[in-house]
Structure 1
């Protein structure tokens, strides 16, 4: 059973680490107008305030491969603990830094911390859990981050009503998590340089498979981030400009993703490593098709739920495949590569979608995105099939 993993203290510690990463970007979104007003006398305050959200993603995209390689070289547990400590320091810095430029600088360090956490945490999942248990953990992780993120984002919105800087205090929760991780994660974690690579460790063609997963993950998040970046403007175009409508849309997506990810382990066992992401991409595609024909707000809510459900299958698939196909001494590198593709996709999404919407309109852009996702479903179904050569002896992903 998936929830039985909660009896394992290592699983709880890794879930806590994963819950931090979802806070890196969106936690301060409710505060942006207030932050801009607070530093209004500074040059380019409007632009700098908006960059506070995207700066961590850019740093993660750049640094994740290096962070993964360092985790392989010097040890994953140590890097995870250092990343959590830096997360707390950089995240809460917005409470007391005197200028907006310094706050932006602290957000860059927050991105460094997230890169360290995500790569080490994902590699440790591969070290601690195998086969069906690993698949169950991946699903539980996405559920925990969705539900936990929803609660903390609601808290951030409530705190922002008092003062725009208050949400920065939530990053301090990392200091509560840190001693738990220090006590529960095994101190025997070795660096990859101490692990003897074996011919049977990982798939024979793991690099080619990893490249395909990287491409699929990047395109997935270019499409996925159409919703948070364009939904408020789309809703206004169909007669729902109120912020509550966009909030309900994001809530429907998050809730559906959390629920579906709870069943990821069972779906993965039934459909396999290629059928599961294919189903996830088709969930994405269905959601965007509904957006493309949406005559009502209710239909957009249903579309958002389909997109969230697809994400509940795709995220654990990408991470699980990365640590499942790579040799043990390269899991950090594989985790870093996937992390980079995810965050780079997030960062590039508005650059891809905005000109398309300007030239084609919302409906055509959404329908075209659905068609692309349908094609990606076919690519995943064919390209991610497990090797049949017994000599490859793949690890369960």
Structure 2
């Protein structure tokens, strides 16, 4: 039996535990994309480094490598020693490692600090995902998964816009924004508690998904799809600033503004997630989300004006915000309570594997064939994913008849 569930009469967004978990969710976007507006200037600042071009591009996804490796281990630790310790320690480590770029002397050491930042993110996201499953169920859980994406996007809007402006003063100043996470610690300390552990006998009574067969295979399919989705989406923070720089824009301000539009659009549509998902189901929400992303990349391919660029990134942000909550909701519905930490860790790892692979695949493609090939090929892949989701939804409707 689930414990500490939110009372039905209390809206989930009013629960202090939900607020604390949404604060933790907002750190995900801050972790990677906050320094994106400063990348071209960082490359120029460290121009003496022969690997400056590659290292500056890897600064954004560098935390993803640590998360990809450590998140499953963090999930096991969350199941064994509790979620609270991992969450609090992760936020403290986030503040220290994230802001280290203010003072570190060169790109290799900044890159190393970004890897440590990934350790912090692995702890935070794994614990946070498991706690969502522990504290909430049913409609409350679905609502919170949508609110998480909204928190990531709206938090990212604030952080990235701020980073875009301070990057005009110094390419190092965006690292200071990571220190803001310290303000989240007091509430997390007060309201986040671990549920009582299940005994072996009690584990059998934890919930219907403990008895569900084949959940590992279904989770593996979700993990693969989420990794591919994030690899595609992460073209935005890793390559957009260089694309805009090549187009002749003031890349710091324009990238900050464009990514702000991306986050604002995503945050707004994530608030509608629960309502849309109820209307069209999971297959329908995947079709809508991937279709919007495909349209966004197609518009970006053809974009010649600032409004067109903003329209493109808004569509991409909206599409990503629609599909992302479904991965968490489906995974938490599949995994038994005693395995939620592990499931959250694997799901977290898939996000960041996709993010880390994104520039490794997109940068050589751009170098060899240009941005048109990248955006056109991505739009085509997303169109195929849209059709597959539509076919899956149609097959499900036929089976129900």
Shorter-chain TM band: 0.7 to 0.9
2:114 counterpart of 1:107: yes
Shift in CA distance, 165/195, structure 1 to aligned 2, threshold 3 Å: farther
Give the CA deviation at 1:39.
6.2
2:341 corresponding residue in structure 1: 332
1:368 maps onto 2:377 in alignment: yes
Is 1:177 aligned with 2:184?
A: yes
Tell me the residue number matched to 2:5: none
Q: Distance in 1 between matches of 2:309 and 2:278?
A: 31
Q: Deviations over 1:306-332 (max 9, x none)?
A: 111101111111122121211111111
Shift of 1:98: 5.1
Total equivalences in the alignment: 388
Q: 1:121 aligns with which of 128, 131, 149?
A: 128
Q: Secondary structure at the match of 1:311?
A: helix
For normalisation by structure 2, the TM-score amounts to: 0.85
Q: Does 1:53 align with 2:60?
A: yes
- Give the structure 2 partner of residue 250 of structure 1: 259
For residue 346 of structure 1, what is the aligned residue in structure 2? Answer: 355
Separation in structure 2 between the aligned mates of residue 388 and residue 8 of structure 1, nearest angstrom: 40
RMSD: 3.2
Distance 1:204 1:314 in 2: 25
- Determine the C-alpha separation between the residues in 2 that align with 1:113 and 1:371: 35
Q: Distance in 2 between matches of 1:161 and 1:295?
A: 24
Give the conservation status (yes or no) of the 8 Å contact 1:74–1:191.
no
1:79 equivalent to 2:86? Answer yes
**C-alpha distance 364-67 of structure 1, shift in aligned 2 (>3 A):** same
Q: Look up the SS of the partner of 1:23 in the other structure.
A: helix
What residue in structure 1 maps to residue 292 of structure 2? 283
Q: Which runs of 5+ in 2 are unaligned?
A: 1-7
1:9 aligns with 2:8: no
1:219 aligned residue: 228
* Distance in structure 1 (CA, Å) of the matches to 2:14 and 2:323: 26
**TM-score, length-normalised on structure 1?**
0.85
CA contact (8 A) 2:62 2:356 kept: no
Measured at CA, do residues 189 and 161 of structure 1 come closer, stay the same or move farther in structure 2, by a change above 3 Å? farther
Q: Within 5 A, what are the aligned runs for 1:1-397?
A: 4-32=11-39, 48-97=55-104, 100-188=107-195, 190=197, 196-198=203-205, 200-202=208-210, 203-235=212-244, 240-243=248-251, 244-294=253-303, 296-381=305-390
**CA–CA separation in structure 2 for the residues paired with 1:303 and 1:291:** 5
Residues 24-56 of structure 1: CA deviation (Å, up to 9, x unaligned):
122233444665676677775665555433321
**Contact 1:74-1:192 within 8 A present in 2 as well:** no
